[in-house]
Amino acid sequence: MSKNDWPLWEVFIRSKQGLNHKHVGSLRAADAEMAIENARDVYTRRSEGISIWVIESNNVYASDPSDMDSLFEPSQTKVYRHPTFYVVPDGISHM
């Protein structure tokens, strides 16, 4: 990176129907205000969003793919976290 390049930011957008902010891509900006504005111009040109988060990419820590087993496999055995684990008597709906 030459001295005049701007840092990279990750952009997260929450859409009108969406419950969560979703990662949509990245862009360059010199500061947070500019990152928000650039995100608005680059990633919501078709009114895709109502809320924007930006975070400098070098502040993102990613999980290690070689740790995939230890990170995610344990939860696969915790079936009690899923509602279908429980038996509900017939005639009960909306639960």
Q: Where are the alpha helices (DSSP H) in 1-95?
A: 32-43, 68-76
Q: Which CB, 2 or 77, lies closer to other proteins?
A: 2
- Round to the nearest angstrom and report the end-to-end CA distance of the chain: 54
**Which tokens hold the place of 35?**
């990152």
Residue 57 near residue 8 (C-beta atoms within 8 A):
yes
Cα separation, 49 vs 44, whole angstroms: 6
Position among 12, 38, 52, 54 found at the interface with other proteins (CB under 8 A): 38
With CB under 8 A as the contact rule, which of the stretches 14-22, 65-73, 77-85, 86-94 interacts with other proteins? Answer: 65-73
Instruction: Pick the closer one to other proteins by CB: 46 or 82.
Output: 46
Chain contacts with other proteins (rule: CB under 8 A): 1-6, 8, 25-31, 33-34, 37-38, 40-42, 45-46, 62, 64-67
